Amino acid sequence: MQDWNVIVIGAGAAGLMCAIEAGKRGRKVLVLDHATKLCEKIRISGGGRCNFTNIHTTPSDFISGNKHFPKSALARYTPNDFLDLMAKHKIKYHEKTLGQLFCDNSAQEIIDMLLSECRDARVEIKNPVSVQNIRRLAPKSGPENFSLESSIGTLTCSSLVIATGGLSIPKIGATDFGHCIAKQFNIPMTPIRPGLVPLTLNQEDKDFCKTLSGISQECIASVKKQSFKENLLFTHRGLSGPAILQISSYLEPGKTLTIDLLPAQNIETELTAEENKKKSLTNVLAPFLSKRFAQEWVERKAQNRTPADLGSNKLRAIAEGIHKWSITPAGNEGYAKAEVTLGGVNTKDLSSTTMESKTRPGLFFIGEVVDVTGHLGGFNFQWAWASGHAAGQAV
Ligand code: FDA
């Protein structure tokens, strides 16, 4: 039997940040992970360069059943706090676009930094370790609140932190462990589904996208009042690219999204311009949409005639089709391709300052397992750092 002040299950972004902060406070901390290789999500993130934060982070960049919940943790651990840590470890980074910060070299530098901070804070990390059973101990049996049956024996602790993340990319170790623990302790969950995920289409739309596969187009993708102006990517399976990933988190199954394929242009003005009347429709559209795109669009939506032949009603309908392309996806590519899991442990049960369960004192949930999901662009790691930091001050 080994006694610890704090046991963290999950040695990912949130778990390691929590362990570091708790260790620095002199707590005796053990981190357990079932994976053979630690921090795989950090390693593969941002195309191997880890988009580790976003300098423009605000609470409105997060989706949660309670939009106020992330405020406290985000205010107490900001992107600048993480940049201070990067500076301490002399890790170079750059802004790619829209406040998104990436390592100049490799995501491995972030992993090395976290593991080095763990060593300095005397945090012990053990992996691969599986946890089979968790029990809450009766208060009279001592200060240890929880007993864990694991592949390295029985462990006890006063604070137990669940940092096992979401369900995306099961092949690198994602599990529903955190969700199961919430259920075991009667902690409510909000419905979960893949987020930041490519969309799949019905056969007709899919055939169209297939012909355009590889083309990227700036657009505004919208669902209700939410919209994102970023690039869309046509793929042989459907639609992807940052605009689509972003809007996927707001798109409920079976609902329709609208795409403005030419946000910087009023294409109706071009279609009805005197100098364009005798040109083929493809040639009028080609300077704005790529030639291949213009050809396919015209073939699908209108005959390739001249604007003069088509008449104003038809031209208006073509313009509307480009500015308000309505798509009802068949579904999405699921957890195998999703960057995040939407939903999770219901924030109603958690303290927003400490991430501790209100109904199960001593039990904490941090990172992606909680019903807080960031937009694309470094926000999910910022939530992992901030929620891990918040719990690290309290465990
Ligand atoms: P995380 O998933 O990082 O860690 C969970 C840990 O728990 C893992 O080490 C896992 O092995 C362990 N675990 C799971 N089940 C267990 C069990 N049963 N027993 C023991 N251990 C268990 N975000 C961002 O801000 N910028 C980016 O660039 C990217 N890029 C990106 C790319 C890809 C391909 C994906 C899939 C995701 C991203 N993300 C991202 C999202 C980001 O990776 C994610 O939100 C954070 O890693 C979440 O951190 P957590 O610590 O909560 O979970």
The pTM for the full model equals 0.96
Mean pLDDT, residues 78-106: 98
Higher pLDDT, 165 or 306: 165
Establish how many alpha carbons lie within 13 A of residue 55's alpha carbon, considering only the half-sphere containing its beta carbon: 13
pLDDT for the residue numbered 143:
67
The answer, yes or no, to whether the previous bond of 128 is cis (omega within 30 of 0) is: yes
* Cα 19 to Cα 86, 109, 334, distances in angstroms: 17, 18, 31
Q: How many helices (H) and strands (E) does the chain have?
A: 14, 21
Ligand 1 atom 53, closest CA: 165
Q: Measure 42 CA to ligand 1 centroid, in angstroms.
A: 7
What residues contact residue 295 under an 8 Å CB cut-off, 6+ apart? 282, 286, 304
For residue 384, the ligand 1 atom closest to its alpha carbon is: 49
β-pair type (146-150, 131-136) = antiparallel
Pocket test for ligand 1, best of 45, 110, 162, 183 (most atoms within 8 A of CB): 45
pLDDT score at 389? 99
State in Å, rounded, how far the first CA of the chain is from the last one: 21
Judge whether residue 1 has pLDDT over 80: no
**Which alpha helices (DSSP H) does 25-107 contain, by range?**
40-44, 71-76, 79-88
pLDDT value, residue 142: 65
Residue 2 has pLDDT above 90, yes or no: no
Query: 226-234 and 216-223 as β-strands: parallel, antiparallel, unpaired?
Result: antiparallel
- Over residues 140-156, the mean pLDDT reads 87
Would you place residue 141 in the very low, low, confident or very high pLDDT band (cuts 50, 70, 90)? low
pLDDT for 271 beyond 80: yes
Q: Which of 142-156, 283-297, 324-338 has the highest mean pLDDT?
A: 324-338
Q: What is the residue-averaged pLDDT of the chain? A: 95
Complex prediction ipTM: 0.99
CB 104, CB 5: distance < 8 Å: no
Closest CA to ligand 1's atom 25: 378
Give the residue-averaged pLDDT of 27-31: 98
Residue 195 has pLDDT above 70, yes or no: yes
303 — pLDDT class (breaks 50, 70, 90): confident
**pLDDT score of 347 more than 90:** yes
Percent of the chain with pLDDT over 90: 91
**Among candidate residues 51, 19, 107, the one with its CA nearest the CA of residue 374:** 51
- What is the distance in A from the centroid of ligand 1 to the CA of 106? 17
> How does pLDDT run across 30-84, given as a tens digit for each residue?
999 999 999 999 999 999 999 999 999 999 999 999 999 999 999 999 999 999 9
**What digits encode the pLDDT tens for the residues 158-167?**
999 999 999 9
Per-residue pLDDT, averaged over 370-380, amounts to: 98
Distance from the CA of 10 to the center of ligand 1, in angstroms? Answer: 9
Among protein residues, the one with the nearest Cα to ligand 1's atom 21 is 33
Q: Which residues does ligand 1 sit against, CB inside 6 Å?
A: 9-15, 32-35, 41, 44-46, 50-51, 131, 163-165, 168-169, 173, 175, 177, 339-340, 367-368, 378-381, 384
Is residue 119 scored above 90 in pLDDT? yes
Domains and CATH numbers, the chain: 2-193+341-392 (3.50.50.60), 199-332 (2.40.30.10)
Is the pLDDT assigned to residue 301 strictly greater than 90? Answer: no
Q: How confident is the model at residue 297 (pLDDT cuts 50, 70, 90)?
A: confident
| Mean pLDDT of the 132-154 span | 87
| DSSP state letter for 315 | H
